Structure 1
Amino acid sequence: MINVLFSAPHERWEAYAPHLRAAFDAASLNVHLAPDLPPDQVDYVIYAPRGDLDDFTPYTRCKAVLSLWAGVEQIVGNDTLTMPLTRMVDPGLTRGMVEWVTGHVLRYHLDMDRDIIRTDAQWDVHVPPLAAERSVVVLGLGALGLAVAETLKGIGFDVSGWSRTAKSIPGMRTFHEPGGLTAALSRAEIAILLLPDTPATENTLNAHTLAQMPKGGRIINPGRGALIDDDALLEALDARHIAHATLDVFRVEPLPADHPFWSHPNITVTPHIAAETRAGTASQVIAENIRRCEAGQSLLHLVDRQTGY
């Protein structure tokens, strides 16, 4: 019997339990799954932030902590977490992100806000360029960033990518440090942020880097709130250097009611909905990792504690 602790906010238990049990059965795993188990009997922890688990010290026989979130910034720095940690790379989450980002890129590209939000009854003919004439830059070329970049490239956009370390992607212009961020942003009519939240990525978009974007550039951030300096973004919008920003993630969530993002005419706020982990597909990822570990194989999506993702 494999004892698996489900440590997540209570409301997630009912959503995940049937999917996890089905996935364990399909993987031929004999699992006792529960939201409460004696720590010294736990073999694996399925984890999401804002649950009850902060101290991993008593979990002396735990083989791995399996995160339900793609981002692990809320747990990776926990000093009591000495066992392997995996992050969620979920095909359902990836497809949700791709669809959300693609929708907003097309909204910007086709200038849909301009066409839809009208009150003057004017027949204003505006023909957008073709996708091949629109430069889109994806900041972050992990699983999510790469999926987004490849989809947009498939539609016909002129897509480039930037990552902190060098990556070679067939048929796509890529940039990396040192100096690559400036080169990438200088061509970003639409910039998409899909970086992890680490000390090295905080304020990737700041007063200096925002100034590198073409005048009238637009920003889409479904990655992490800390990737953008809020004050610098507001100043760039007010100066009309940046035309618009669509933000799905924020430093504090829910976004406080008095935050200036709510009232700014050139900011679209969405409530962290770009990519939600899907219980069905995520449960299959969890079951496969437990199956692999029990078979003596390496874990998938293992987090590098040094980089934070």
Structure 2
Amino acid sequence: MAGAIAYVSRDTDGVAWRKVLEAGLGPIDYRTLAGGLGNTDEIEIALAWKPKPGLLASFRNMRMIVSLGMGVDHLLADDRLPEGVPITRIMDDGLVGQMSEYAIYWALRHHRDIDRYEASQRARTWKPEEFVDTIHRRIGVMGLGTIGQDTARKFAMLGFPTAGWSRTAKEIAGIETFHGADGFREFLARTDILVDVLPLTRDTKGLLDGKAFSALPRGAYFINMARGGHVVDVDLLAALDSEHLGGAALDVFNTEPLPPDHPYWTHPRVHVTPHVAGATNPRTASPGVIENIKRLRAGQPLINTVDPKTGY
């Protein structure tokens, strides 16, 4: 008999996930934090989003952990994560589309000087701004996984000179690519709008510091829809205050929710959104999860597995 599937998230009640899993698998033993997990020795699969540290280790017969986000740093931060249990992540076309929409919106808002036009409207001033040709506004995407590649391709389709940076070398048609520590500064130097979609790992934590921001051209714009842990906040604020950076759109932060007294809330060149650039949609994310559950129970290799050493 198949084991139980546990929905381990405090953000929602898990009803939507139950519906899509039952549609693809038939009747299942489905348990949630809200409804009670019962005998945890019966749990075979955990659908997890930011579980309490140590909770997953208490599921003694668990055979697979599914991250309910495309990032898995929320799981790998648990130093009591059970060894030998494969971790998989969702591949959600709906979420990917949302993320690229977020980046394109804020990039175009900056590119077309909408903040200045809003200020002119409030002042009832008719003031056309100097136009910058799209071919002179260079986009740089940090992270060339599924989300990064989709975002870069869409910017390129809009006519922006687009480049990407990743840990290892990648080739993407129509996108200039850089990689590794040697290519990082060169990548930043050619980037007018920087979009961060990197995973959070030991190597990327604090990567965007004063040196990185100073490598960007003066007036550059920063969009962070990846993880707040990439950013050294005091250095970003200093770059904004000195006007080396023209502005920033921030969706993720070192501390979430963002504390009410944080300078980002009131900074004149910062836009804050509450970690909403991309939300997991059970309808579009479930096919891969269902496939993995079938594979697990049939003894077949899993897809979308995570390497804990690299963090993705």
Same fold per superposition (TM over 0.5): yes
Question: What is the deviation of 1:100?
Answer: 1.2
Counterpart secondary structure, 2:265: coil
User: Displacement, 1:13?
Assistant: 1.8
Paired residue type of 2:14: W
Is the CA contact (8 Å cut-off) linking 1:67 and 1:86 kept in structure 2?
Answer: yes
- Which range moves more in the overlay, 64-73 or 37-46? 37-46
Give the Å deviation of 1:132. Answer: 2.4
Cα shift readout 1:266-308 (whole Å, capped 9, x = no counterpart): 1110111100111222222211211222233322221111111
Does residue 174 (structure 1) correspond to residue 177 (structure 2)? The answer is: yes
Length-normalised TM-score, structure 1 = 0.93
- 1:290 is aligned, of 285, 290, 293, to 293
Q: Counting helix residues as a fraction of each chain, which structure ranks higher?
A: 2
- Residue 265 to residue 57, structure 1, CA distance change in 2 (3 Å): closer
Residues 185-194 or 120-129, more deviating? 120-129
Q: Higher RCO, 1 or 2 (CA under 8 Å, sep at least 6)? A: 1
Query: Which residue does the alignment assign to 2:154?
Result: 151
Kept in 2: contact 1:5–1:37 (CA 8 A): no
Q: Structure 1, residues 25-84: CA drift from partner, whole Å, max 9, x if none?
A: 4xxxx53222224222222111111x4572434433322111101221121243342200
| Superposition map of 1:230-269 within 5 A | 230-269=233-272
Distance in 1 between the 2:295 and 2:94 partners?
A: 21
Q: In structure 1, how many angstroms separate the alpha carbons of the residues matched to 2:13 and 2:302?
A: 24
Q: Which residue of 2 aligns with 1:110?
A: 112
Bigger mean CA offset, 151-160 vs 74-83: 74-83
Is 1:44 aligned with 2:41?
no
Give me the whole-angstrom Cα distance separating, in 2, the residues matched to 1:16 and 1:215.
46
8 Å contact from structure 1 (residues 7, 53) kept in 2: no
8 A Cα contact 1:152 1:159, kept in partner: yes
Could you tell me how far apart the structure 1 residues matched to 2:38 and 2:156 are?
47
Residue in 2 aligned with 1:33? 30
Asked if structure 1 preserves the Cα contact closer than 8 Å seen for 2:141 and 2:164, the reply is: yes
Task: Sort the Cα spacing of 1:247 and 1:231 in 2 relative to 1 into closer, same or farther, 3 A.
Answer: same
Give deviations 1:148-205, integer Å, cap 9, x for gaps: 1111111111000001111111221100113211000001100001111112101221
Where does the alignment leave 5 or more consecutive residues of structure 2 unmatched? none
SS of 2:46's partner is strand
1:114 Cα deviation from its structure 2 partner: 1.2
For 1:157-168, list aligned pairs within 5 A. 157-168=160-171
1:11 aligns with 2:12: yes
Q: Provide the TM-score with structure 2 as the length reference.
A: 0.92
Structure 1: gaps spanning 5 or more residues: none
- Aligned counterparts of 1:53 and 1:232: Cα–Cα separation in 2: 30
Write the deviation string for residues 208-255 of structure 1: whole angstroms up to 9, x where unpaired: 111100000000001000111100011111111001011000011110
